[in-house]
Structure 1
């Protein structure tokens, strides 16, 4: 047996020899049987085709020059009957023209007469490696299709012409497709949602050499118990070996339960905050009456205790206010409360407002604004809140004598705002958490600084509602820089 023969496992290759010469058939049977193969023979083309009609052969050794029916005719018929059969042609004349013609018709290889047993073993071993490679590809594709079809997420792939190549059952169910198949049709013929269609267009338009994942949310109305469904949409370009787009991959993930849970939490926070605010305001009024002496004289010690209690109540009142703001932003109630906002003017006002607080800590606020800064469509009160939070934090978390740099300009077709300080800085392990609700960096520098841990969460929610982004760069002892990018042409 040839030593580089592929591992056949439990499958014994089945080989058919079709040749009009008895000695060739017998010689092939003897050599191939000794290699462990199952071998059958036929003396002409019609008999060989009858056998191929009855069963599958992994390899066909086919003589090209035979009476009644030539090997070329048999080869053409085999391609129609069983295209997975690997054909090795036997040519008695050893002409290159015959071999090339046979290869064009689908033959895998050829062997010239007369041939030795070693030559026969070599060409059969080569064809078996090819057969096994084809089987591995078919098996891998089949397994991949089964895996994709069993995914809970919806998956759709398209070609560069936006024709659907694959759409698993989950995807068809998510978009409410009722037909028999989506494969082969244009995306626009089976999908009406503009969000999905736009995502596919954007993915295909992604230039070579760059990669971006198009992310959207998709709401599909429902009825009965199911009600509205909300899906996250992630669409990416699919690249070929030359890095050009050859299609797209779209994944739908059901986030309905998460969205409903977030809404329930926001509703609960809003309800509790409203219920707490009234008694807090009442207590603050009562404390003010006592501190103003309207309820009688107070001793210095009593006044100290009452002032401390007032500070705590004010902190609690601030927490309730910020919780209400955060709940309102995340519920989408401010989504339509927008107008054109002059960020340059807003930044100038913020500098004037915060300068006295900064001067108490011997700090300077440096403001740089590019000329002709574009206006953005936003809620003025919430943009004021974003800037106020960042500047206040920069002052609070910086030592005396520090500096604050604020700049605004245009970058990557977006309005860019940067707020940097020379403060305590943020450890690397905390950078991913600072935009979470109630999270505060705790160390020896910040232990005495009061706060709710909601300021940056509110900032992040407002920026997200404007389809913008906020990033932070910081290191302990090296200060912190927040960078905001806001699209100024989104209406």
Structure 2
């Protein structure tokens, strides 16, 4: 039977019980009301009329109005004859009354009239007793029927009240427990309901679902374990240290390289809170610090100093971070190659400076007319040799400076220096180049007695590099503005030109090594000058920057602290 049918039967029965009880009650009340009305209408009123006639009969001699009252009650009685023999007695009362009106003082007539009235009373009193007995019998009969019907309906209703909630609640509880088991991955749970209704169908569907889930779980478990084993093997075979951390900062795993670097076994730290491990392990403490992320770390491992690059990768799921993977990439071979490259560049650059200087000096001697005259073609060749020698000398100087930067051996001679000295050295160096393009270098120097804490040679080199680039990229007959300004215990230098400018998308890379703005002529430079400038300024505790827009020129600047 369907659940809907069960509900309809239960609710229909309750409705029928209420309807039957109500109809029987109404019928019983109406019947008893009718019996009471008959007693009141047919008999009680007759008794009232008879008693009124008996009272007025005594007053015939003294009160003439009593005769009229008697006649009114007699007329009402004549209209209310309901019992057997009552009509004959009432007619006799009328006949005697008519005679008595002619002889009011006749005692014999009055006595006979009283007897007839008593007969009417007696008949009605007997009728009242009889009708009352009938009404009581009817009331008792209906009361018994009502009790029987009420008992039956109550018994059925009680049975429904006790059993019907269980028909609904027990399957729901069974389904609820089954769902909890599925949530806890107990796919062997089944629900058995001997009901051929919607709950039975739902239980069957649940069992089918649990069976499918159980099959899926067991069919994929071996595959998942195999994949996990393969991933663990791959991670352990990697040359990089890898550590997994969940969203609660507990350590999930660490491969063999990570074990060696940490000096801890995976079994010792798996499941532990990473900051707690960091309290006893310096490397773990460094890995968890924000400032260490995406930087090089020098770690003593395998009885030697090794270099590792730290990467912290967030693991996301639906835009929510559920963990992190810390990767220590072994860059020791690259670091060794880079160091060898730096040493090689430094050595070659140093060795090249002497022959290049000799070539330049020889070219200058050839250009000297005191040595001998040369024709026009020879003079152009000498000039070309001189230009190439200057360019080679600049490149070797930049390479030597870069080797100092890369090895971290920048030799600084910090001293209090006036800004005007730096400006004079730089402007005098680029004056000849500026004159060739008829470019004026306008200096707007702040009137301040303050001095800077700086290496004058390297700072002048940086400012010269800014001015040289400004001259290169400025049109002829133009002006370059060199400005100094004192603000917040720093002296800043800015060089502004009106050249073609730099596209904003290239500005973040402008100070990177070997970077050249696309479209720059091949002979414009090595791409090292601005990188070396940044290293020189930052090594002195200063800042360097650039502002530019394409077609609006460029502004290069740096600032250094004031000498206290």
TM-score normalised over the length of structure 2: 0.51
Pairwise CA distance, 1:179: 7.0
1:101–1:188 Cα change, 3 Å: same
Please give the alpha-carbon distance, in whole angstroms, between the structure 1 residues aligned to 2:555 and 2:211.
Answer: 63
RMSD over aligned Cα atoms: 5.5
Pairwise CA distance, 1:94: 0.9
SS class of match (1:312): helix
SS class of match (1:422): coil
1:187 counterpart = 2:277: yes
2:297 to 207, 212, 218: 218
Partner of 2:207: 124
CA contact (8 A) 1:402 1:423 kept: no
Partner of 1:164: 251
Please give the alpha-carbon distance, in whole angstroms, between the structure 1 residues aligned to 2:287 and 2:418.
Answer: 31
Please give the alpha-carbon distance, in whole angstroms, between the structure 2 residues aligned to 1:325 and 1:149.
Answer: 42
Aligned residues: 379
Deviations 1:372-394 (A, max 9, x none): 99988x76644443343233212
Pairwise CA distance, 1:409: 9.0
Pairwise CA distance, 1:253: 0.7
SS class of match (1:257): helix
Partner of 1:18: none
1:379–1:279 Cα change, 3 Å: same
Pairwise CA distance, 1:172: 2.1
CA contact (8 A) 1:163 1:187 kept: no
1:354–1:406 Cα change, 3 Å: farther
Partner of 2:553: 479
1:459 counterpart = 2:533: yes
Superposition map of 1:195-344 within 5 A: 197-202=285-290, 214-222=293-301, 227-235=304-312, 249-298=325-374, 302-334=378-410, 337=412, 339=414
Higher helix share goes to which structure? 2
Please give the alpha-carbon distance, in whole angstroms, between the structure 1 residues aligned to 2:517 and 2:347.
Answer: 28
Pairwise CA distance, 1:153: 2.6
1:404–1:266 Cα change, 3 Å: same
| Structure 1: runs of 5 or more not aligned | 1-89, 204-212
Q: Which shows bigger deviation, 123-132 or 265-274? A: 123-132
Higher strand share goes to which structure? 1
SS class of match (2:295): strand
Please give the alpha-carbon distance, in whole angstroms, between the structure 2 residues aligned to 1:396 and 1:329.
Answer: 26
Pairwise CA distance, 1:252: 0.8
1:362–1:180 Cα change, 3 Å: same
SS class of match (1:220): strand
SS class of match (1:221): strand
Pairwise CA distance, 1:169: 2.4
Pairwise CA distance, 1:232: 0.9
CA contact (8 A) 2:545 2:556 kept: yes
Deviations 1:274-322 (A, max 9, x none): 2221122223333334434453455565444433322222222222111
| Structure 2: runs of 5 or more not aligned | 1-165
Partner of 1:87: none
CA contact (8 A) 1:92 1:112 kept: no
CA contact (8 A) 1:407 1:419 kept: no
1:130–1:329 Cα change, 3 Å: same
SS class of match (1:218): strand
Deviations 1:172-211 (A, max 9, x none): 2344546753321633256324xx52451327xxxxxxxx
Pick the structure with greater CA Rg.
Answer: 2
Pairwise CA distance, 1:255: 0.9
Superposition map of 1:29-44 within 5 A: none
1:179–1:95 Cα change, 3 Å: closer
1:422 counterpart = 2:518: no
Please give the alpha-carbon distance, in whole angstroms, between the structure 2 residues aligned to 1:418 and 1:436.
Answer: 20
Please give the alpha-carbon distance, in whole angstroms, between the structure 2 residues aligned to 1:374 and 1:154.
Answer: 49
2:475 to 383, 388, 399: 399
Please give the alpha-carbon distance, in whole angstroms, between the structure 2 residues aligned to 1:405 and 1:121.
Answer: 88
CA contact (8 A) 2:315 2:323 kept: yes
1:107–1:355 Cα change, 3 Å: closer
1:246–1:478 Cα change, 3 Å: same
Please give the alpha-carbon distance, in whole angstroms, between the structure 2 residues aligned to 1:482 and 1:167.
Answer: 48
Please give the alpha-carbon distance, in whole angstroms, between the structure 2 residues aligned to 1:485 and 1:199.
Answer: 33
1:364–1:303 Cα change, 3 Å: closer
Deviations 1:91-124 (A, max 9, x none): 9961877877887788769958444453123223
1:240–1:440 Cα change, 3 Å: closer
1:236–1:93 Cα change, 3 Å: closer
TM-score normalised over the length of structure 1: 0.57
1:355–1:237 Cα change, 3 Å: same
